[in-house]
Amino acid sequence: MNQVAVVHTGAITAMGDDLEALWQGLLDRESAITTATRFATDNYISSCAALINDLVPDSKKAMVFQLADRVMEQLPPLPRDTLVLTASTKGGIDVLETARRGTETSKEQLIISSLPGYIARRLGLAHQGINISAACTSSTIALAKAAAFIASGRASSVLVCAVDIISEFVFSGFSALKAMSSTPARPFDSKRDGLTLGDGAAALVLFSEEKMKKEGIEEKALITGWGIANDATHITAPARNGCGLKRAVSHALAMAGIPPDRIGAVSTHGTGTVYNDAMELTALHSLCGSQGLAAGSVKGAIGHTLGACGGIEAALGIRMLDHQVVPGTPGFTSPETGAGSMISSRHQPFDSDHLLTTNSGFGGINGALVLQKRRR
């Protein structure tokens, strides 16, 4: 099986226009969550969001395509045979809103499957791939699929572009579910009461080792294991015992060929909803124990970026491995039972070459990746 290397990373969030701005903002304990101004929030249970302020609704170009353009600018020229996989839950849903209000719009950009082809054409790539729309695990699954393509020899270079924006349609849906907090999200806090939504995009380029040598590029990290599982419990709520997440993580660890105690840090899904956070704590305690494990969530700073969160968090996970530190979890002041032994508002150092990143989504879908620090 071919080794899978991450060779390029990029990200855009409400914290800033690149991955460095996000990383530094987290280290400086900043938060990008503020009052949403893209649309009126008077009728919803929250007015909080982490929105990219200069991302403007446009009837001719969906915001998700605008954001994809911007994150692609962070990439160098890619080999023409690079395969494109995108990850987005709702794509150009803001175009539908515009159309329903009577404005002529680009119907093509409403169709989520048009995103990978758009990116392939924009970058001059020969092969269009597919879009993965698997709720909030979309980009984790896209990265797993990309890694599988390379590991099996079916591709030597894959671009994963993960992007989602917060439209009023999405915001109103989470409000109707009563899943949002009226204040910035507090992952793993005993007083947490819901999530905060945010815009975001990430781009990660994966190469085989042979491709790296041919292109003269060094890896940023390796993806050594991945797992996907569904708990088949409820349309929105996770299984309380974490069975789906446990299966996904167990599969990822087995593929990586390491026991749980080799994992030094975990980038959790950590949305700040009551049941998700409790499920994750149950799963992590069951699989990895808690002693010496540094874990955290970034969603109290940049919001839940839906289908883009796994890509953003994988890119951040590579930074964590490089610096051997997990940034403090924003909003975490009063630990939930079982959280205090692994979650902290303070930055947590760790000493390990392996980091686990996980995501869970509606419909009971769970994804896990094992990242390995780059070889010296």
- The active-site residue out of 48, 269, 309, 354 is 269
309 vs 298: CA distance, rounded Å: 10
Tell whether the torsion through CA atoms of 78, 80, 83 and 84 is positive or negative. positive
- The active-site residue out of 48, 161, 288, 304 is 304
The yes-or-no answer on residue 323 being catalytic is no
Question: Which residue in 195, 212, 215 sits closest to 150, CA to CA?
Answer: 212
DSSP string, 122-151: HHT-SEEEEEE-BTBTHHHHHHHHHHHHHH
Q: Which amino acid is at 340?
A: G
DSSP at 18: S
Longest C-alpha distance within the chain, in Å?
58
Secondary structure (3-state) at 360: strand
Secondary structure (3-state) at 174: helix
DSSP string, 233-268: --SSSPPTT-HHHHHHHHHHHHHHT--GGG--EEE-
Is 327 in contact with 296 (CB distance < 8 Å)? yes
- The active-site residue out of 48, 136, 288, 309 is 136
The yes-or-no answer on residue 304 being catalytic is yes
Q: Which amino acid is at 339?
A: A
Helical spans, DSSP H, in the chain? 19-27, 63-72, 93-100, 114-123, 138-151, 168-176, 209-215, 243-256, 274-288, 299-302, 309-323
The yes-or-no answer on residue 269 being catalytic is yes
**φ, ψ of residue 127 in degrees (nearest 5):** -120, 120
Tell whether the torsion through CA atoms of 36, 25, 372 and 315 is positive or negative. positive
Tokens of 329: 């979890």
- Would you name the residues annotated as active-site residues? 136, 269, 304
